[in-house]
Amino acid sequence: MRTVARAHDLRALVDDARAIGSRVGFVPTMGYFHAGHRSLMRAARAENDFVVVSLFVNPLQFGPTEDLSAYPSDLDRDSAAAEAEGVDVLFTPTTEEIYPRPIVTTVHVDGLTNGLCGRSRPTHFDGVTTVVAKLFSMVGPCRAYFGRKDAQQLAVVRRMAEDLDLPVEVIGCPLVREPDGLAMSSRNAYLEPDDRRAAAILSRALHEAAAEVANGERDADSVHRVLTGLIATEPRVQLDYAEVVDAHDLTPVTKITGDVLVAVAANVGRGRLIDNMTVSVGPHSVDVDLGVVARETERV
């Protein structure tokens, strides 16, 4: 594995790979890898000849009161994890490398960014789409991998790529959970032990809601009540939202039919945590995608 901090060096390595016909897979990250990141690298490794992982904590996607300066990092551990997953290039730019002068160009996706996390983080998704557009330009991947834990981010990035005809396939990978169900997140590192235990209520509430839907519940309000009622039993967990939305356009639904995203966000201690599940109601079946639980050996 090569580790490069300069876009110029990155481009040279990727150009060489492309020149011999390699298909390039790309995993953009903010580092502090957990099993979710590793599952993205593994998917990229399986489906491409050359794998690039970027590690950049992007200031543009943090609000003024958010946790930019506190965001956890451990480059040595991240390098070892990426190497173990067979990554070819780990791109670790500085902020000055990505933004050598103030950026005045914004890539904005309307509509999909209005609700869910966009409501409490109004500048977040512009920061995401702008830096992802830049990273796509720098790397020039055939395929890019995003976790479905960040379901809204995935929908927004995918729509950006389609709208701008970016020659990259945006691939969503399963949400990965801790053994107690908590969705893996670099921000889990912020949690004090009591908060860490309390945070599991989010996935327990989603499981409970999934059971209701599997038993035939189709009323979004009822599912919403199950979620908020359960999460309210845990005073350490301050709910930001619990929503039942169309999985494609992310607008609220009243009836659970077709593909539906059930998403929650909450503040727990110093961390803001999100979780979700996707429900697909067909004429003869109901599929609930709650992601996967990491095997013991995958937890890093």
The catalytic residues are 37
Q: How far is the CB of 55 from its own copies (least distance, A)?
A: 17
CB of 46 vs its own copies, minimal distance in Å: 25
Residue 161 or 231: the one with the smaller Cβ distance to its own copies is: 161
Burial (CB count within 10 angstroms: exposed 0-12, middle 13-18, buried 19+), residue 32: buried
**Count of beta carbons in the 10 Å neighbourhood of residue 6:** 13
Distance CA 277, CA 44 (A): 23
Instruction: State which residue, 33 or 136, has the beta carbon closest to its own copies.
Output: 136
Q: Which is nearer to its own copies, 180 or 249 (CB)?
A: 249
Question: d(Cα 66, Cα 62) in Å, to the nearest integer?
Answer: 6
Task: Provide, rounded to whole angstroms, the least separation between the CB of residue 136 and its own copies.
Answer: 9
Nearer to its own copies, 60 or 220 (CB): 60
Q: Which H/E stretch holds residue 225?
A: helix 220-232
Locate the DSSP E strands across 222-285: 237-246, 258-268, 271-281
Closer CB to its own copies, residue 73 or residue 106? 106
Token pair of 76 as six digits: 């040595």
Structure tokens at 260: 């539906």
CB atoms within 10 A of CB 67: 15
DSSP-derived pairing of the beta strands 143-147 and 2-4 = unpaired
Q: How many Å separate Cα 56 from the centre of its chain? A: 14
* Beta strands 176-177 and 292-293, pairing class: parallel
Q: Which residues bind its own copies (CB under 8 A)?
A: 7, 11, 103-112, 129-130, 133-134, 137-138, 140, 159-160, 163-167
Q: Which residues contact 100 (CB under 8 A, 6 or more apart)?
A: none
- Least distance in Å: CB of 94 to its own copies? 15
Backbone angles phi, psi at 199, to 5 degrees: -60, -25
Structure tokens at 255: 């009836």
Burial of 293 (0-12, 13-18, 19+ CB in 10 A): middle
Minimum CB separation of residue 19 from its own copies in Å reads 9
Closer to its own copies by Cβ: residue 167 or 258: 167
Q: How far is the CB of 163 from its own copies (least distance, A)?
A: 4
